[in-house]
Amino acid sequence: MQVDLAKLCPQVVELSRKAGAFIRKERQRFNTDAVELKGKNDLVSYVDKESEILLVKGLREILPEAGFITEEGTTGENPESYEQLEGYHWIIDPVDGTTNFVHSLPPYSVSIGLTWGRTPVLGVVYEVTADECFYAWKDGGAYCNGEPIRVAPVTDLAQSLIITGFPYRVFSDLGRLLDIIKHFTLHTHGVRRLGSAAADLAYVAAGRGEGFFEYNLKPWDVAGGVVLVQEAGGFISDFNGGDDYVFGRELVAAGPIHPQMQKVIAEYWNQTPTQP
């Protein structure tokens, strides 16, 4: 069953804003005693869990036939494997940038993606602190708070600003990451680390940075943002230029500089890493 994504998207936007309002309210009275550890440096709180429950309830009403892949696993529906996904699935990160949220540091975002099989077809990223909602659907364009957005038209890597993320749990590939960051630091306008992959993708879609890359990502980190970049005229791949960027744990997103950026990343990523 195919759905009308143009009609679906405004409902998802409204729901993301509702979740964002809850997150914003809870941040005002948040106590760090409420923080739990899922793993090394992997923080979670009741805000993540309750926001996810709110989102799941609303999304079930919007598209009852869709399955769920959620960061906090509140539905109990996360598939054991992503290889053979069929039909629609909502992929949700209720607070992308939980560490930022805990420290009251922007940005942190609600991220909602919809896939048909393994293909993203709709994405909404609501950046809570700036009250900015980015949204897009397949063949429908990309928008922020009602205004169309486009990737930056920069064609020269040397004139670009690059966004990335650092690992917080798995550090075995840190040496290669630092090699890539060193190259971009020396050969671009600079490298930024903001702390929310969903916001990073939204900002690339809006032309605020020319490219974003990160590894050890989960589907819920990126599913809401990849459609934004694609519909804003950008390009997405994994580090080696392939198309396994939602479930393959690594991603390069950019405008016209994508080929240059991806080539640099692949060259370093496929080498023996240096010691950090």
Counting DSSP H helices and E strands in the chain, the numbers are 7, 14
- Kindly tell me if the per-residue pLDDT of 199 is higher than 60: yes
Average pLDDT over residues 254-276: 88
Give the model's confidence band at 15: pLDDT under 50 very low, under 70 low, under 90 confident, else very high: very high
Is 96 within any annotated ligand binding site?
yes
What are residue 143's DSSP bridge partners? Answer: 135, 148
Domain ranges of the chain: 5-148, 157-269
Residue pLDDT, tens place only, 58-113:
999 999 999 999 988 888 888 878 888 999 999 999 999 999 999 999 999 999 99
Average pLDDT over residues 241-267: 97
pLDDT > 70 fraction of the chain, expressed in percent and rounded: 95
Who has greater pLDDT, 221 or 169?
221
174-187 and 258-269 are packed helices; what angle lies between their axes, rounded to 10 degrees? Answer: 140
- Kindly tell me if the per-residue pLDDT of 43 is higher than 80: no
What's residue 271's pLDDT? 83
Average pLDDT over residues 194-206: 98
Q: Hey, CA dihedral for 64, 243, 211, 181, is it positive or negative?
A: positive
What number does CATH give the domain 5-148? 3.30.540.10
Mapping DSSP to helix (H, G, I), strand (E, B) and coil, where does residue 225 land?
Answer: helix
**Phi and psi at residue 146, to the nearest 5°:** 90, -10
Average pLDDT over residues 17-31: 93
d(CA 17, CA 33): 26
Are the C-beta atoms of residues 137 and 107 closer than 8 Å to each other?
Answer: no
Is 221 within any annotated ligand binding site?
yes
Is 139 within any annotated ligand binding site?
no
pTM, two decimals, is: 0.94
What's residue 193's pLDDT? 96
| CATH classification for the domain delimited by 157-269, as one of 2.160.10.10, 3.40.1410.10, 3.40.190.80, 3.40.50.300 | 3.40.190.80
Tally Cβ neighbours within 10 Å of residue 169: 10
Is 243 within any annotated ligand binding site?
no
